[in-house]
Every structure is written in structure tokens, then in C-alpha cells.
Amino acid sequence: MDLKIKDKVFIISGGSKGIGEGITRTIVAESGIPVIATRSDEATIRISEELTRNSMKHHYVIGDLRDPENCKKVINETVEKFGRIDGIVNNAGVNDSIDLEAGPEAFRKSIDLNLFHYYDLVHYALPLLKKSKGSIVNISSKVALTGQGGTSGYAAAKGAQLALTREWAAALLKYSIRVNAIIPAEVMTPLYRKWLDMFENPDQKESEIKSKIPLGHRMTTIEEIASMVVFLLSPKSSHTTGQIIAVDGGYVHLDRSLT
């Protein structure tokens, strides 16, 4: 399927690792132009060198998105280089395990790490998104709906991302800007692998998790998340907005008796 995004420009926060990298690569595969916004310099340079060798248009901006000036820089550089912005994927963040016992300062830092740049990037990009009638996709997490235990900051940020998705979808209707959210559950990213390897028996833990995923008893792939994200960015989903879509093999919503 041609998603009709050739030469369209999309900013992906955290676009050089894990799910973000998958989204970047899927945009390239559909002849779109990714702009990677991240603080991960080594991973970003590696991807950039690969895309350059293959003559793929792209750009990256290295900087900590907790600083609003870096968010502004991402937008300004994108406009200077390509003259347009057709969509934003808010993806950067990490489950930092800041729980109730961590204290107010740690909680606020966790929110800062996982939430504010979602707002900041869209705020600075809004004039360009109005021109392009663009699309926004917020990457949230199952934790926003289910909780997890021991991660108050991350859960609060992810829940807020879902609230912003609905709020922005309503607020931006008059500009024909679509806003949707993706809820991943169990996806084998490098960070997830690192977490699994902390257990005494990682293989057993992985098998236990897979047994609870109804569709196929397997984890969702990065590519499956990325495909849904890029579809939502594209004109092929032109009448879809305000939706919260779980790409998770039924993990969150199907009855546990099925597993």
C-alpha cells in the first residue's frame, strides 16, 4: 500500500532507538523524510550514516528535550532544511520506576522526563502543522490504563499523554489536524531486553509474559507498532482522530481467561 507520504516531513522524538527507530525506518521505507529529535548521539549518528549511504533524505537534532529551547531548535532546523512539517511523533521517554516512596522531587523530574516535551514540540510546530493539515501521534503505554506498581511518575505522564490526545484532537479540528495515540504493551525493545535480563531467569520471565498475551502468545514487534504509527500519520487514515489504539495482541483489553 502506498501511504502517500513521499517527501513529507515527520519529526520523531527518540527516533533512533527502540520503537522510535522502527518508526524512523518505516517512514523512510514509505519515502517520507524523518527528523530525529533525541539526546542519543551515537545511535542517531549510526542511523544517519546508514541513511546517507542509501541517499535517504533525513535530518537529526541532538539535544535534551527537557529544555524547551531544544524543542524550539528541532522545529526551527526542520523548517530551515525542509520548509515544512507534516507530522510529529511524540515518543521519547523512559519507564524510570519513580514510585510513591521516591518523593516529590523525583516525581516531578519523572514528569519532566516523560511529558512536557510532548507539549513543547507540538506548541512550536503548530503554525507549520496548520499549513500542512498535519498529523500528531502520541506514544503512550499500557501503564496509563492498567497501572504497573512502582512507577508513579511514568504512569502519570502516560495518562496525561492520553488526555492531551483527546484535548488536542478537539482543539485542532478546525485546522484539520488529526491527533491519535498508540498504546504499546509488551514490545521487545533494547530497554525491555535490558529489564528482562535483570531477572535471575530471563527466559522463564519472558515465557511467563508471552503466555499472557492472547493473540499468538508472543510480544508485539517494533515493526507492528511503527506500521500503525505511520498509517496514522498518513492520508490513508484521513478520517481518524482522537483515537487511542492499543497495538498489543489483545493484552490490555481481552479477558485473561483467554490465556
Which pLDDT tens digit goes with each residue over 195-240? 899 999 999 999 999 999 999 999 999 999 999 999 999 999 999 9
State the pLDDT confidence band at 17, using cuts at 50, 70 and 90: very high
Residue 156 parent element (H or E): helix 152-171
Q: Are 132 and 12 in contact (CB under 8 A)?
A: no
Q: Give me the residue label for grid cell 511514568.
A: 154
Residue 258 has what pLDDT? Answer: 72
Q: What is the dihedral of CA 251, 256, 258, 259, to 10 degrees?
A: 80
- The yes-or-no verdict on residue 242 having pLDDT over 80 is yes
Compute the mean pLDDT over every residue in the chain, rounded to the nearest whole number.
Answer: 96
| pLDDT value of residue 73 | 98
- Catalytic residue of the set 118, 154, 192, 251: 154
User: 26-40: per-residue pLDDT in tens?
Assistant: 999 999 999 999 999
- Which residues are CB-contacts of 175 (< 8 A; sequence separation ≥ 6)? 129, 130, 133
Nearest to 23 by CA among 47, 2, 41, 39: 47
Helix (H, G, I), strand (E, B) or coil at 63: coil
Whether the per-residue pLDDT at 259 is higher than 80: the answer is no
Q: Residues near 166 by Cβ (< 8 Å), separated by ≥ 6?
A: 242, 244
Sheet with strand 9-13: strands edge to edge: 59-62, 33-38, 9-13, 87-90, 135-139, 178-184, 244-247
Residue-wise pLDDT tens digits, 147-205: 999 999 999 999 999 999 999 999 999 999 999 999 999 999 988 898 899 999 999 99
Q: What residues pair up with 62 in beta bridges, in sequence order?
A: 38
Residue in the block written with cell 504509527: 229
List the grid coordinates of 80: 530551515
Query: Which uninterrupted H or E stretch holds 89?
Result: strand 87-90
Per-residue cell: 237: 487514515
Catalytic-residue membership of 192: no
Q: Is the pLDDT of residue 257 over 90?
A: no
Per-residue cell: 30: 514509505
108 pLDDT above the threshold of 70:
yes
pLDDT of residue 223: 97
Contact 121, 74 (CB under 8 A): yes
Which pTM was predicted? 0.96
Q: What is the CA radius of gyration of the chain?
A: 18
Q: What is the pLDDT of residue 58?
A: 98
Q: Check residue 168 and give its pLDDT.
A: 99
Cell of 144: 496509563
Q: Which domains does the chain have, with CATH numbers?
A: 9-185+224-247 (3.40.50.720), 188-219 (no CATH)
Count Cβ atoms below 10 Å from residue 212 Cβ, excluding itself. Answer: 14
Read off the C-alpha cell for 190: 533494547
Instruction: Please give the grid coordinates belonging to residue 91.
Output: 515518543
Taking only the tens place, the pLDDT of each residue in 136-147 is 999 999 999 999
